[in-house]
Homo-oligomer: A and B are copies of this chain.
Amino acid sequence: MTNSILNNPTEIFTPEQLLEHWQGHRGLTRRVIEAFPEDKLLTYSIGGMRTFADMAMEITGMTAPGIRGIAFGDWSIDDPAIGFNAPTPASKEELLTRWDKVTELLCSIWPQIPPHRFQEHDVAFGQYAGPVYGTLLYMIDNEIHHRGQGYVYLRSLGIEPPAFWDR
């Protein structure tokens, strides 16, 4: 721990505020999924990149086991329906159902994160060593990164994406 934590902690935002921020992002990503015509969601690509459905599945596949690892330190937990190796659904509706399942999971597990976990070191997903807050930020940043790519897909299809600032 740093001196700052021991002597003079700075709460940049509370865990509740960070969850609200993340769920705001997740709501926007959900609207980006909805904005795609179903066939383009499942098949459209630029430059050999993945479809937006595949990117959305990466996000849910990381978030569902990830939030449990962050909270409980057990990275072996996985759920075949929404975890790492879940196949990409064949419909927009099924993808949105999985998305909503992860949203609920996040809301139910988040309050169980012990405050000291954020600064602990761990090996995320059994592979990535670092502070737990870093894993958490990685998951949020990765969602923003891929959603930004979805914006280009939509624009190239002549579709106006939902506003970035509207969460």
Contact = CB atoms under 8 A, between A and B. Distances in A.
A146 interface: yes
Contacts of A145: 144-145, 147-148, 151, 164
Interface size class of A (residues with CB under 8 A): 35 or more
A126 interface: no
Interface in A1-55: 2, 4-5, 8-18, 21, 25, 46-49
Contacts of A138: 165
Contact of A148 (B14, B119, B133, B144): B144
Interface string A98-132: 00000000000000000100110000000000010
Interface in A119-167: 119, 131, 133-134, 136-138, 141-142, 144-149, 151-158, 164-165
21 contacts: A2-B14, A9-B10, A10-B115, A12-B12, A12-B13, A12-B15, A13-B131, A13-B137, A17-B133, A21-B134, A21-B137, A46-B46, A47-B154, A47-B158, A49-B155, A142-B164, A144-B148, A145-B151, A145-B164, A146-B148, A152-B153
Complex A-B, nearest 5 residue pairs according to Cβ-Cβ distance, in ascending order: A148-B148, A47-B155, A47-B156, A145-B148, A152-B152
